A and B are shown apart, each in its own frame.
Chain A
């Protein structure tokens, strides 16, 4: 469905491109051996390079290079066998070298694409490039009235800047793009995708145009750090641009900031105030040269990516598109599903994961890894359902208590007297007594009111206190009602 912004005069098309900054999950920094522990004491994760000491020299972290290559490969992108590190020059107190080491003209990764899924419709979003760069430190202005403070723990951390083509046309598409990208990064482990910690953040380029016309002037909204804010920022910014254009104004190319409290964007600096970064190749670093051998070796270590996994889950476990999509959207969930389904019915496991497990996690506000749910626990419980020891309904009723306990599933249900009634004779006796007590209903059923079948099942379950095996109840009931 086409997304258009309703102006007072026209309908406007929205053009979006994203620059995502993803911090590489690496134990040490891009050009120094300093550790990257999050939340450590200020200035405790700092090496000579990270605080710009005289005579300090950068040395590339090979692990970060490999992560960038893996990421490039997973974005279906070209890996550039020669790339160059440049200095991006500007003065800022949290930029200790007075320049950021980045890649300008020759990035490590070139053109690629990813496929996003919006309401079941697939769309390809182009990736322009991916390059490696250093993060800056952090200025703190709220510690003391008279002074500002600087924390250089983040200074020099490895970032991948992933630039998209202006291929997105709605806030939802932008959100789906970021979600998909984050998911891919998590699958390969190059970035943890944690937006709250700032390990993944986006600069959003927004412009509007009348459908079919040339691209309009864009504004860049800097450093948006949640998917919700990305959507809000786009929403606000696109409407602001439409209002200006419809009242005869023109858009000024500028950098803007999103204020999550007010839900607005506001101007940070205009084009004329924009920095001249005076990029030039960093003479401390030789060109980064990669061999085919290295790239191919890394290619072989690439894990199954979400799109492939989805296809496989659908064919291997006969899952539908929707369920498979939900499962692969979270790497941990997908892994949990796969380790649980092992030897069990895919549909049942999928229903349980997307049903009970999801609602449980939502209630306790934790992710699967933080929760007490394990594949063994859920699998053990489901085995009791599959072999008929307890009913699916019983299993659902006790699910949360069972997870919170640390008991063996069989012992857990036995202690609570939950074992399912599967004895044919006993069930037959129960059914017979239900039928005897409801002669009128039996009459009606036999005269064609087949809907009443459910009523009988319900009655049997009621008298069995929910313990009767529904499968046997169904079969026996059908037989007796003939």
Chain B
């Protein structure tokens, strides 16, 4: 009998094709795991019946030798992706009972590849958060604990905290995430797994509930780099329904295995050595540099001079877009409504009660920075900063092929921490936000541990649409890290 908990997606595909086990067996296993670990609160809406039906269908396909690329692989779907007939909440009370009658392109692509939906994973409300503590459906718990205090409950990171925690604790083989400023990479780093944010436009945003449209990008959260490539292959597509989706040719992402690190130029940006960068993370970063050297890559010191301004620019642009994107949740057509005679009161009470504190904070910030008299000073300036940051990357990619940085300035922290000062929470994103603003592909790969045996991820940023090189570098780390 195969040990399911050790299976990666790629090995499960082999096992299924060899008839070592069936998709129904595999799915049943994960259903039980999810039930056993309900305390982690990874799933908002489990879809076990659907999962078993899909698994049965997959087994038939395998028997008929008609299997598709992810045939029979049970995954978690972040509750930001609209799923036809299955409740989709975005972690918010305002969509507590919302059942879409349409399917997001990313989830549709995955189902068309044979993947199986175990359920909708928990997330920060409207993807606004870095600890998965803003969900209306409760906190998600990181299955990992510090060595010295086994009872301390840590955050899984956010906003794709449910997906990350579920993959980490073996409740699904992989999961979808969405990354606006680090929402895939940061939780992947906190949970010791692989998180890939593709180039902006690589995956369609159709049916993905919008937070900040110019930044939102779907991506996979998986145990291995190879699994990441497998999932991305299904998720990515040009989509007529998304005007910002890219027509760039989609390569075979598994070709990352043929890309040599030898001779690649790896940029180390000095600006990422920020105040407050955890010394253990610093050590892992140095170790990463040595791995690249040992593989024959050339290390280049680079400068991304506007890095400092990335976080403030991000926290202007993202809330500004969100303030308009979330205006549709007004209680008129669907979702939560607080009935009032007066329309203005209906709006105020519906939105007042329907949104959580962090969402309201960002909507207020967003509304403020777009207001007459403040637009130029905040929003317009932030757009200019964004342009400068893009230019920085464009410039350095003339002299290097990939950029290596830590994913986060710190490891996973206990639930309840960083809750009083929002700025402290926002600082979690300081190393992931620049690549988001520039729309670049970036991966977080587990690369080491701190003294407390908490995982530390390194981030690799690539040129636009060069996910393959990013995956290749990630896979090299996987090979050399020694665990």
A/B pair count, beta carbons within 8 Å: 95
State whether A283 touches B327 (Cβ < 8 A). no
Q: Give which listed residue, A52, A150, A284, contacts B328 with CB less than 8 A.
A: A52
Q: Give which listed residue, B81, B333, B347, B370, contacts A89 with CB less than 8 A.
A: B370
State whether B332 touches A93 (Cβ < 8 A). yes
Judge whether B136 is part of the interface by a CB distance below 8 angstroms.
Answer: no
Kindly list chain B residues whose C-beta atoms are within 8 Å of the C-beta of A285.
243-244
State whether A283 touches B213 (Cβ < 8 A). yes
State whether B243 touches A54 (Cβ < 8 A). no
Docked complex: A275-325 residues within 8 A CB-CB of B: 276, 278-280, 283-286
Judge whether B430 is part of the interface by a CB distance below 8 angstroms.
Answer: no
State whether B206 touches A54 (Cβ < 8 A). no
Given the complex of chains A and B, what is the CA–CA distance between A113 and B326 in angstroms?
40
Report the minimum CB–CB distance from B377 to chain A (whole Å): 14
Q: Give which listed residue, B95, B210, B334, B370, contacts A280 with CB less than 8 A.
A: B370
Judge whether A348 is part of the interface by a CB distance below 8 angstroms.
Answer: no
State whether B328 touches A55 (Cβ < 8 A). no
Kindly list chain B residues whose C-beta atoms are within 8 Å of the C-beta of A91.
327, 330, 347
Judge whether A48 is part of the interface by a CB distance below 8 angstroms.
Answer: yes
Kindly list chain A residues whose C-beta atoms are within 8 Å of the C-beta of B104.
55
State whether B82 touches A54 (Cβ < 8 A). yes
- B240, B320, B328, B343 — most chain A CB neighbours (10 Å): B328
Given the complex of chains A and B, what is the CA–CA distance between A277 and B73 in angstroms?
47
Docked complex: B225-268 residues within 8 A CB-CB of A: 240-244
Kindly list chain A residues whose C-beta atoms are within 8 Å of the C-beta of B371.
276, 278
Judge whether B312 is part of the interface by a CB distance below 8 angstroms.
Answer: no
Report the minimum CB–CB distance from B316 to chain A (whole Å): 11
Please classify how large the interface on chain A is, using the bins under 10, 10 to 19, 20 to 34, 35 or more.
20 to 34
Kindly list chain A residues whose C-beta atoms are within 8 Å of the C-beta of B328.
52-54, 96-98
Report the minimum CB–CB distance from A364 to chain B (whole Å): 45
Kindly list chain A residues whose C-beta atoms are within 8 Å of the C-beta of B118.
none
State whether A280 touches B240 (Cβ < 8 A). no
State whether B243 touches A280 (Cβ < 8 A). no
Kindly list chain A residues whose C-beta atoms are within 8 Å of the C-beta of B334.
53
State whether B324 touches A280 (Cβ < 8 A). yes
Kindly list chain A residues whose C-beta atoms are within 8 Å of the C-beta of B241.
57, 59
Judge whether A24 is part of the interface by a CB distance below 8 angstroms.
Answer: no
Given the complex of chains A and B, what is the CA–CA distance between A57 and B325 in angstroms?
11
Given the complex of chains A and B, what is the CA–CA distance between A350 and B173 in angstroms?
81
- Which of chain B's residues has its CB closest to A146's CB? B341
Given the complex of chains A and B, what is the CA–CA distance between A336 and B330 in angstroms?
52
Judge whether B367 is part of the interface by a CB distance below 8 angstroms.
Answer: yes
Kindly list chain B residues whose C-beta atoms are within 8 Å of the C-beta of A280.
320-321, 324, 370, 375, 379
What mask results when residues 193 to 235 of chain B are scored 1 for a CB within 8 Å of chain A, else 0? 0000000000001111110111000000000000000000000
State whether A284 touches B88 (Cβ < 8 A). no
Report the minimum CB–CB distance from A56 to chain B (whole Å): 8
Docked complex: A87-113 residues within 8 A CB-CB of B: 87, 89, 91, 93, 96-99
Known: A99-B324, A283-B212. A54 touches B370 (CB 8 A): no
Judge whether B27 is part of the interface by a CB distance below 8 angstroms.
Answer: no
State whether B243 touches A283 (Cβ < 8 A). no
Q: Give which listed residue, B206, B240, B327, contacts A99 with CB less than 8 A.
A: B327
Judge whether B34 is part of the interface by a CB distance below 8 angstroms.
Answer: no
Report the minimum CB–CB distance from B331 to chain A (whole Å): 10
Given the complex of chains A and B, what is the CA–CA distance between A55 and B216 in angstroms?
11
Judge whether A460 is part of the interface by a CB distance below 8 angstroms.
Answer: no
Judge whether A413 is part of the interface by a CB distance below 8 angstroms.
Answer: no
- Which of chain A's residues has its CB closest to B373's CB? A276
Known: A60-B243, A283-B214, A285-B243. A51 touches B207 (CB 8 A): no
Known: A89-B370, A284-B244. A57 touches B327 (CB 8 A): no
Report the minimum CB–CB distance from A263 to chain B (whole Å): 30
Q: Give which listed residue, B90, B212, B327, B372, contacts A276 with CB less than 8 A.
A: B372
Kindly list chain B residues whose C-beta atoms are within 8 Å of the C-beta of A54.
82, 88, 90, 95, 98, 100, 209-210, 328
Overall SS of chain A's interface: loop
Given the complex of chains A and B, what is the CA–CA distance between A351 and B282 in angstroms?
93
What mask results when residues 95 to 123 of chain B are scored 1 for a CB within 8 Å of chain A, else 0? 10010101010000000000000000000
Known: A97-B327, A283-B214, A286-B243. A55 touches B208 (CB 8 A): yes
Overall SS of chain B's interface: loop
State whether A284 touches B370 (Cβ < 8 A). no
State whether B213 touches A98 (Cβ < 8 A). no
Given the complex of chains A and B, what is the CA–CA distance between A79 and B321 in angstroms?
29
Judge whether A58 is part of the interface by a CB distance below 8 angstroms.
Answer: yes
State whether A283 touches B321 (Cβ < 8 A). yes
Kindly list chain B residues whose C-beta atoms are within 8 Å of the C-beta of A58.
243
- Which of chain B's residues has its CB closest to A93's CB? B332
State whether A284 touches B82 (Cβ < 8 A). no
Judge whether B436 is part of the interface by a CB distance below 8 angstroms.
Answer: no
- A60, A93, A279 — most chain B CB neighbours (10 Å): A93
State whether A150 touches B212 (Cβ < 8 A). no
Docked complex: A22-69 residues within 8 A CB-CB of B: 48, 51-60
Given the complex of chains A and B, what is the CA–CA distance between A53 and B243 in angstroms?
17
Kindly list chain A residues whose C-beta atoms are within 8 Å of the C-beta of B90.
54
Judge whether B323 is part of the interface by a CB distance below 8 angstroms.
Answer: yes
State whether B243 touches A284 (Cβ < 8 A). yes
- Which of chain B's residues has its CB closest to A31's CB? B243
State whether B370 touches A278 (Cβ < 8 A). yes
Kindly list chain A residues whose C-beta atoms are within 8 Å of the C-beta of B323.
89, 278
State whether B209 touches A55 (Cβ < 8 A). yes
Given the complex of chains A and B, what is the CA–CA distance between A286 and B241 in angstroms?
13
Given the complex of chains A and B, what is the CA–CA distance between A93 and B333 in angstroms?
9
Report the minimum CB–CB distance from A405 to chain B (whole Å): 54
Report the minimum CB–CB distance from B301 to chain A (whole Å): 34
Kindly list chain B residues whose C-beta atoms are within 8 Å of the C-beta of A56.
206-207
State whether A98 touches B372 (Cβ < 8 A). no
Given the complex of chains A and B, what is the CA–CA distance between A51 and B329 in angstroms?
11
State whether A286 touches B244 (Cβ < 8 A). yes
State whether A57 touches B347 (Cβ < 8 A). no
State whether A284 touches B347 (Cβ < 8 A). no
Kindly list chain A residues whose C-beta atoms are within 8 Å of the C-beta of B98.
54
Known: A278-B367, A283-B321. A55 touches B207 (CB 8 A): yes
- Which of chain A's residues has its CB closest to B348's CB? A91
Known: A91-B330, A99-B327, A283-B214. A57 touches B205 (CB 8 A): yes
Docked complex: B69-99 residues within 8 A CB-CB of A: 81-82, 88, 90, 95, 98
Given the complex of chains A and B, what is the CA–CA distance between A53 and B98 in angstroms?
10
Report the minimum CB–CB distance from B282 to chain A (whole Å): 35
Given the complex of chains A and B, what is the CA–CA distance between A318 and B95 in angstroms?
70
Kindly list chain A residues whose C-beta atoms are within 8 Å of the C-beta of B375.
278, 280
- Which of chain B's residues has its CB closest to A275's CB? B372
What mask results when residues 97 to 136 of chain A are scored 1 for a CB within 8 Å of chain B, else 0? 1110000000000000000000000000000000000000
Kindly list chain A residues whose C-beta atoms are within 8 Å of the C-beta of B327.
89, 91, 97-99
Closest 9 CB pairs of A and B: A98-B327, A283-B214, A283-B213, A278-B370, A52-B328, A55-B207, A54-B209, A55-B82, A276-B372
Given A53-B328, A54-B98, 17 more A-B residue pairs with CB atoms under 8 Å apart are A53-B100, A53-B334, A55-B81, A55-B100, A57-B242, A59-B240, A96-B333, A97-B327, A97-B328, A98-B326, A98-B327, A99-B324, A276-B371, A278-B371, A283-B212, A283-B244, A284-B213
23 residue pairs from A and B, CB less than 8 Å apart? A51-B333, A53-B100, A54-B82, A54-B88, A54-B100, A54-B209, A55-B81, A55-B205, A57-B242, A57-B243, A58-B243, A91-B330, A91-B347, A93-B330, A96-B328, A97-B327, A99-B324, A276-B372, A278-B371, A283-B213, A283-B244, A284-B213, A285-B243
